[in-house]
Amino acid sequence: MSASESEPALMPTHPSPIQDERALKLLRDGHLEVAGRLIEATNMTLYCSVSLNGSTAACVYKPVRGERPLWDFPDGTLAAREVAAFEVSQATGWQIVPPTVYRDGPFGPGMCQLWIDTEREVDLMRLVRSRNPLVRRMAVFDAVINNADRKGGHLLPLPTGHVYGVDHGVCFAAEDKLRTVLWQWRGKPLAREAVGVLAKLDRELESGALGRRLRELLTLAEVEATWKRVRRLLDTGVHPYPSEDWPAIPWPPV
């Protein structure tokens, strides 16, 4: 029996697309009010409320002007990369990234993402080391978007069992930069489901809406590199191995 065949069946525990659409409209058009700052974050990350037509939700707002310069990513691009990660997430159908938009706010344009209340009883490090098929989806997703910073604390487990992933500002580099705590599937055959999703991404990046949307958020070279990563995964049929030229695990790992 192959590794993919021995995995437990996936349960439909994620939010519905209808809920996501409502959240996106609220995030995009609602009144944004800053309530506080998440001081442990590297870049300016503000905890906010967003309100529209009687509906209110908590959200995270990361203004571009609060981004710290990085040597390996162009200045002022992290917010757009977060939105690009959401677009890829939606195209997979896996809903790994919470609803995320690019909008203006009290400190200028930036990323605005729905706040997620997590299941506090979950042991994050145990989840990181697990064979949970939802976490395995995230490993495939990270390989596609070239996530340079998948820490354990970026996994948000819900009481329903769904697992979100957040903090995708350092993704989509044209050079291979995959750095993650999710290496337990390295070299293992991709699950049948993942192969089908990657084939869909291949088509969408070549001539579909996803390719057009990513070209609005990233450079052409970065979009082309994303497409090449998808095709490489399809060609090899396995989860990638860590690079010998780049640290495999982010620091700190949590």
| CA 3/CA 11 separation, integer angstroms | 18
Query: CA gyration radius for the chain?
Result: 17
At 134 the three-state DSSP class reads helix
Q: pLDDT digit string (tens) for 193-213?
A: 999 999 999 999 999 999 999
Query: Do residues 63 and 46 make contact, with C-beta atoms less than 8 angstroms apart?
Result: yes
Residues contacting 58, CB < 8 A, separation 6+: 47, 48, 49, 50, 114, 115
Q: pLDDT digit string (tens) for 132-172?
A: 999 999 999 999 999 999 999 999 999 999 999 999 999 99
Per-residue CA distances from 108 to 52, 65, 104 (Å): 19, 7, 5
| CA 203/CA 60 separation, integer angstroms | 32
**Amino acid at the residue 204:** E
Q: pLDDT digit string (tens) for 42-99?
A: 899 999 999 999 999 999 999 999 999 999 999 999 999 999 999 999 999 999 999 9
Calculate the average pLDDT of the chain: 92
Q: pLDDT digit string (tens) for 71-82?
A: 999 999 999 999
List, in order of start, the domains of the chain with CATH numbers: 17-236 (1.10.510)
Query: Do residues 179 and 249 make contact, with C-beta atoms less than 8 angstroms apart?
Result: yes
Tokens found for residue 198? 């990657």
Tokens found for residue 124? 């994050």
Q: Does pLDDT of 41 surpass 70?
A: yes
Residue 222 burial (C-beta neighbours within 10 Å; 0-12, 13-18, 19+): buried
Residues contacting 73, CB < 8 A, separation 6+: 81, 169, 170, 173
**224 Rama sector, left if φ>0, alpha if ψ -120 to 50, beta otherwise:** alpha
At 238 the three-state DSSP class reads strand
At 180 the three-state DSSP class reads strand
Query: Do residues 183 and 177 make contact, with C-beta atoms less than 8 angstroms apart?
Result: no
| CA 1/CA 23 separation, integer angstroms | 41
| CA 10/CA 136 separation, integer angstroms | 11
